Amino acid sequence: MRVFVALELPDRAKDNLERSSRQFAEYADGGNFVPKENMHLTLHFLGNVEPSDLIYVQSAMDAIKDLPAPELAVTQFAMQRTGDIVWAKIRQSDELTSLHDLLGDKLEQNGFETEHRAYRPHVTIIRKKNFVMPFSEVTKNVQVFNAPFAANKVTLFESVFDHGKVSYRPLYTVELKENR
């Protein structure tokens, strides 16, 4: 199974990202736009994992459920260095960094490899993009809806491929403490 652990985005945040995505589409001459239901903020990509090992991922996730839900916001849209993916950059916060780091430590303690490069939180919105003008010009015409939002659900997802399309099937979820 190909799996990853991510923060689920609240509906309002996904609606805002979808609105921006539609604005990008006005300047696109191709590309795969991520459906709203697939939008998420990856914490750790694990790759291929045996179904019998998922219990160790769940155990790592259980260790973070007492952490506070991070407050997030979109800061800008950017393009991956390879130039084929557009994402919404997410404001880094102490809560998000702590969540990412603690989950990574717990996953490693349970035998999984995690990346050790700097965490750059983002939500992918377009893959294999092709715009009719330079990206810097396109972004001048796309509104960033950056109202802060809390993300309190951490979910283990399986990537499911069917007829060339990908969807993400939730396998296990823990809820973080909401700030009140």
Question: What count of other Cβ atoms lies within 10 Å of the Cβ of residue 46?
Answer: 18
**Phi and psi for 161 in degrees, rounded to 5?**
-105, 130
Report pLDDT for 163. Answer: 86
What percentage of residues in the chain have a pLDDT greater than 90? 82
Give the confidence band of 180 by pLDDT, cuts at 50, 70, 90. Answer: low
- Rounded to whole angstroms, the Cα distance separating 28 from 26 reads 6
Of 76, 158, 82, 70, residue with least CA distance to 125 = 76
Q: How far is CA 66 from CA 19, 98, 139, 152, in A?
A: 33, 12, 38, 11
| Cβ pair 158, 3 in contact under 8 A | yes
As a whole number of angstroms, the distance between CA 37 and CA 146 comes to: 19
Q: What is the pLDDT of residue 151?
A: 95
Q: What is the DSSP letter of 51?
A: G
Task: Quote the pLDDT of residue 177.
Answer: 92
Can you tell me the distance from the alpha carbon of 111 to that of 66, in angstroms, rounded to the nearest whole number? 22
Nearest-angstrom CA–CA distance, 93 and 151: 12
pLDDT at 119: 92
Of 129, 126, 107, 111, which Cα lies nearest the Cα of 45? Answer: 107
Mean pLDDT taken over the chain:
93
| 149 backbone dihedrals φ, ψ, rounded to 5° | -145, 150
User: Domains of the chain by range and CATH?
Assistant: 2-175 (3.90.1140.10)
pLDDT in tens, 74-126: 999 999 877 689 999 999 999 999 999 999 999 999 999 998 888 999 999 99
Q: pTM for the whole thing? A: 0.93
Nearest Cα to 21, choosing from 77, 73, 71? 77
